[in-house]
Structures are given as C-alpha cells and as structure tokens.
Amino acid sequence: MNRKQFLKESLKLGVCSSACYVLNAVDLSAAPPSEQKTEAPKDFEKEFVQNFLSDLMDSIDSELDEKTKVRVMAGCGRGCFRRFSFKQDLAKQGEGSLEKLIDAYKKNFEIWKDGDLVHIRYGEVSSGCYCPAARYRPPKPNDIHCNCTRATHQTIFETALQRPFQVDIVETLRRGGKTCHFVVHLT
C-alpha cells in the first residue's frame, strides 16, 4: 500500500470511529476484547487444548491409513513412557527378568502369564479412561488412542527385557469394553 492509500484508509477509519463515538454506537471506554474478562484463562486454555486434541485425533483418524495411525499413536505412547518416571520405574524394577517385571506391574495392574502370553488388565471392570489426553473426548468403536497405551506397555517390556515384543489390544473402555486389557506375546 502506498502512502496516499494509507492516509486515505486511515482517514476513513478515523471518520468511522468518530461517527460511532458521536452516535454512541460504540462504547470506547470498554476494555478491548483482549482485556475483557469472559472466562478464566485456565478454563479457556483447557477448552482450547481439549478442542485441539479432538481436532487432531479426528484428523489422524480420517486422513491417515491404519498403519500410519498406529505408528503415530505408538510414538505418543513411547513419549508417555519417557515423560513419566513411574512407567520408567516399572521397566527398571523388571530389568532383565520377566518375573521381576510382572511383580513390578502387580503394584498397579492385574497381570498374569498364560503360556507364551502376558495379560495386563486394568481390573475386571474400569470406571473410566485413565489418560487425561483422552478423558474429554467421546470414545469410538475402534478408538486410535488405545494404540498409545498399547505402545506404552510395549515400551516398558522392551526396555526392561531388551528385546522387541508384540502387544495386542484385547479390549478397552474407549472401544466399548468394560476394562482395558492388553496381551504381550513372549515369542
């Protein structure tokens, strides 16, 4: 915009705002929108983050193929393992020994070995999803968020026992189950 256009537009703005003031159409004494108190900042931020996560999860679910969805959510599960010391502590307590790992898990989960499988369950019936990132979104029949938790358990086992493991989702609350139940394949 050249100087002449700038001055012309500025003048229009000045005339319009002056007319609004004279006609009492705008309360110039009111605080600007950024300073008006409409809701508490933390409530706004919480709602913003919840909406963002919902939009992100819906986009992942609708835009990506199944293999990519699982990989993206697995990355979140590994990040969750790295972020929370109680998850790392499980791996440390079970380092090098499946029996010690199972004992460490027993402090917070139902866990049992059945042949070449280890079952991890969040009780026979769970009252709700434990993940704060999922708690405020409605569940879906094949909810991709459950792959995050699956990958967290996979990371705990792989870190403790220093080898790869396959972990399957048996059922989850978010997918319509009565609890969350995962199975670790030992072979």
Each residue's pLDDT tens digit, 113-143 = 999 999 999 999 999 999 999 988 889 999 9
| Nearest residue to 152 (alpha-carbon basis) of 138, 171, 169, 140 | 169
Q: What domains can you pick out in the chain, each with its CATH number? A: 41-185 (3.30.1380.20)
In sequence order, what DSSP letters do the residues of 98-159 get, joined into one string? Answer: HHHHHHHHTTTSEEEEETTEEEEES-SS-SS---TTTTTS---TT-TTHHHHHHHHHHHHHH
| Nearest residue to 102 (alpha-carbon basis) of 120, 116, 82, 123 | 120
Give pLDDT tens digits for 141-185. Answer: 999 999 999 999 999 999 999 999 999 999 999 999 999 999 999
Note if the pTM is more than 0.85: no
d(C-alpha 66, C-alpha 44), whole Å: 33
Tokens found for residue 64? 């990506």
Q: Of 25-34, 84-93, 98-107, 139-148, which range is least confident?
A: 25-34
Instruction: Write down the pLDDT at residue 149.
Output: 97
